[in-house]
Amino acid sequence: MKRSFAQTWEIARRDLVQRAKSKAFLATSLLVVGMILVLGPLIANELDDPPPYRVGVVGAADEEFGAYLDVAAASFERDAVIERFDDLAAAEQDLEFGDLNVIVVDGTEIIWLEEESSQLNSVVLFALQSIERRDIAEELGLTSDEALALLAPPAPEFRTLREPDPEAEPRRIGALIGSILLYTSILMFGQFVMMGVVEEKSSRVVEVLLSRVRPTQILVGKVIGIGLLGLAQLALLGAVVWFTLTQFSIADISLADIGRDVIVQVVFWYLVGYTFFAVIYAALGATISRQEDMQSVALIPVALLIPGYFIALLSLEDPNTTLSRVASMVPPTSPLVMPMRLAVGGVAAWEVAVALTLLAAASYGLIRLGGRVYTGAVLKLGPKVKLRDAWRAAGQ
Amino acid sequence: MLSLVNLSKRFGDVVALDGASFDVPAGRIVGFLGPNGAGKTTAMRCIFDLVHPDTGEVLWGDAPVGPAERLRFGYMPEERGLYPKMKVADQLAYFARLSGKNRQEAKDDAAAWLTRLGLLDRADSKLEELSHGNQQRVQLAAALVHNPELAVLDEPFAGLDPIGMESMAETLRELAGRGVGIVFSSHQLDTVEDLCQDVVIIDRGRIVLTGELSRLRSSARLRHLVIEVDDQAWSPDGEEVTVVVTRTGDRRLLVEPSVDLDALLAAARTAGTVTRFSFEPPHLSDLFREAIQ
């Protein structure tokens, strides 16, 4: 038992070290760290300080237009910037390129790129209406106090049933990034497992290994070793994300705390989800002997992963639809959907328990199943081994 | 001592092993010989449980071979293979670790084998950077790095040049001298006959001949004669004599013990001056041919 464990750990260690040195791993790690360092500040900035409305003005414009625009934009916690154009064509070109959000011509025409933005529309309309009302009040000879009284909206008391959660939006964005990270990690390290299995088969070293250890030890060792490498990469990425987030703060919200919560969820669900998928990757890898054949069989686990990924994205909008709730408890979708529901909030403890129990049971079954397929297929060189033949061969 | 006892194995309709039994005593070099497809690889794989025999068992001493015993064996499969992108020394240490050595022992064993094979200066090279011959040496080292008590080598001479063959033979003799039992397979019977102390000859899954080579040679049923007349190989007409041409080009006569040698010599004399009339020990291929008749 002790010896068997030591051997399995040695296999895990080799796979971890060798794969960590591989160009594929180093390149993707650097790429993702770079992306976080570049995109992190951009996203945090967006949350903290949404960009101003850029309003192009062509032709005649009231001198107070800008002031009214600012007042209206402020109610959405945005700024408004006015750019003046002598030429409508030039303004339209800027609108095309996204440098402007809207164009106002002579105070009488509003031009959008494709469709109006309801928020900005109300801001612009408010500014135009305010100018018109001011002029009418002047024509009627009202004093400014009278005009104000006439135009003042009613002032009912407002109250809300509950406080808005200022963390909701940052959490949603964190969960989105988390789901991408989780999906890509399971995919990438699952593929590494498959590559490792195929390499050992195509280089034929596997028979040398099997004279010393049992097939399931190779399978489990490889899944552990590459899984730990994935964990190390996630830890690194998590640290980079966390560090990036500590550099920003939005009012009273601790982005670092939210980031930490999401990272913990991603790491935990990576471990359970990766185990499930890595065994599938390993068993399928054992049925082929050449790297060229990998593409075709690698599609199978991807096809199992993708529904979970899309349901996870849907869950960000509404985490409590029947689809999201069921998918968050049943494998193979649960490892991707449950953490997203958890990140958004409102998941019952029993749902998490059901998800983990089912996943543990399925993983155990898969290790038995995948182990048998691996055993039956790993010594068969040449063309692709049928799953049924591998199953039978292992029984002989 | 390793004993294969009455091993049988079928793959569908193909009989790979049919009640095969033989021993590999400590310190002996056993040639496991037979044509391609005779069942050599299947028998060797049974030792390592890479193939489960339908009947029969593999014993180490008196006990069945299990995972713990297998770690005292070294195996070089016919399908050569190691990790192409892994450093040679790391690779050997890894296999030693899998055979139960601790980290330091594994490192020392790897270095010792690299020294023995003259590859110490390539310890930090990746396997794929080595020449074909050196890769073969590392392959042997991978099988033996943990200093096993038994070496099972499947076609170790395949693909070697004469210098590589001699160096391999030297290594095997040295190991046997230290008490390691060695069984190696070959389908080229005559190239390995100088090395074998014992031979096991297999044909279509059945062991057809087994024993000490020198004794087998002396007890061969057919006599092996070389007769030259006027420095030319000579053979008589007649059904009791079979003429074979060996690998080295010798024309040999295989004759029944009942053949009258005086009459044969007299017949040769009538053809000219007899310049050679000698008994030769049978080649392995002769023994094989005899055994399967």
Q: A151, A178, A202 — which closes off a domain?
A: A151
On the question of pLDDT at A3 being above 80, the answer is yes
> Confidence class of residue B142 from pLDDT cuts 50, 70 and 90?
very high
pLDDT, tens digit, for every residue of A113-168? 888 888 888 888 888 888 888 888 888 888 767 776 776 666 678 777 877 776 77
Higher pLDDT, A387 or A110: A110
- Comparing alpha-carbon positions, the chain B residue that sits nearest to A378 is B50
A264 plus A241 within the same structural domain: yes
Identify whether A3 is part of a domain. no
A201 plus A279 within the same structural domain: yes
On the question of pLDDT at B30 being above 90, the answer is yes
Structural domain total, chain A: 2
Domain of A33 in residue numbering reads as 15-44+169-395
pLDDT, tens digit, for every residue of A179-226? 888 888 888 899 999 999 888 888 889 889 988 998 889 989 999 999
A209 plus A231 within the same structural domain: yes
The least confident of A392-396, B258-262, B284-288 is: A392-396
The least confident of A13-22, A44-53, A226-235 is: A44-53
The predicted pLDDT at position B12 comes to: 83
What is the pTM assigned to this prediction? 0.77
User: What distances in angstroms separate CA A250 from CA A49, A51, A247, A258, A388, one per listed residue?
Assistant: 9, 15, 11, 12, 57
- Judging contacts by C-beta atoms under 8 Å, the chain B residues touching residue A195 are none
The predicted pLDDT at position A168 comes to: 73
A40 plus A175 within the same structural domain: yes
- Judging contacts by C-beta atoms under 8 Å, the chain B residues touching residue A207 are 50, 75, 77, 79, 81
Tell me if B70 and A212 make a contact (CB, 8 A cut-off).
yes
A147 plus A175 within the same structural domain: no
Average pLDDT over residues A363-374: 82
Tell me if A204 and B50 make a contact (CB, 8 A cut-off).
no
The least confident of A173-177, A392-396, B123-127 is: A392-396
A109 plus A247 within the same structural domain: no
Give the closest-approach CA distance of A200 to chain B in angstroms: 7
Tell me if B82 and A208 make a contact (CB, 8 A cut-off).
yes
> Confidence class of residue A383 from pLDDT cuts 50, 70 and 90?
low
**Which residue, among B9, B2, B40, B41, has the nearest Cα to B23 in the 3D structure?**
B2
A74 plus A207 within the same structural domain: no
Identify whether A247 is part of a domain. yes
A101 plus A198 within the same structural domain: no
- Burial of residue A2 (CB within 10 Å: 0-12, 13-18, 19+) is exposed
The predicted pLDDT at position A46 comes to: 67
The least confident of A217-221, B14-18, B266-270 is: B266-270
Average pLDDT over residues B3-21: 90
The predicted pLDDT at position A382 comes to: 56
The predicted pLDDT at position B154 comes to: 92
Identify whether A5 is part of a domain. no
- Judging contacts by C-beta atoms under 8 Å, the chain A residues touching residue B75 are 207-208, 211
For residues B210 and B33, is the Cβ–Cβ distance under 8 A?
no
> Confidence class of residue B147 from pLDDT cuts 50, 70 and 90?
very high
For residues A107 and A116, is the Cβ–Cβ distance under 8 A?
no
pLDDT, tens digit, for every residue of B171-184? 999 999 999 999 99
Tell me if B98 and A204 make a contact (CB, 8 A cut-off).
no
Identify whether A184 is part of a domain. yes
Identify whether A26 is part of a domain. yes
A114 plus A199 within the same structural domain: no
A244 plus A389 within the same structural domain: yes
User: What distances in angstroms separate CA B139 from CA A374, B50, B124, one per listed residue?
Assistant: 24, 19, 16
The predicted pLDDT at position B279 comes to: 80
Determine the length of chain A: 396
- Judging contacts by C-beta atoms under 8 Å, the chain B residues touching residue A10 are 94, 97-98
What CATH number is given to the structural domain containing A120? 3.40.190.10
Identify whether A300 is part of a domain. yes
Identify whether A192 is part of a domain. yes
> Confidence class of residue B6 from pLDDT cuts 50, 70 and 90?
very high
Asked if B143 has any chain A CB less than 8 Å from its own CB, the reply is yes
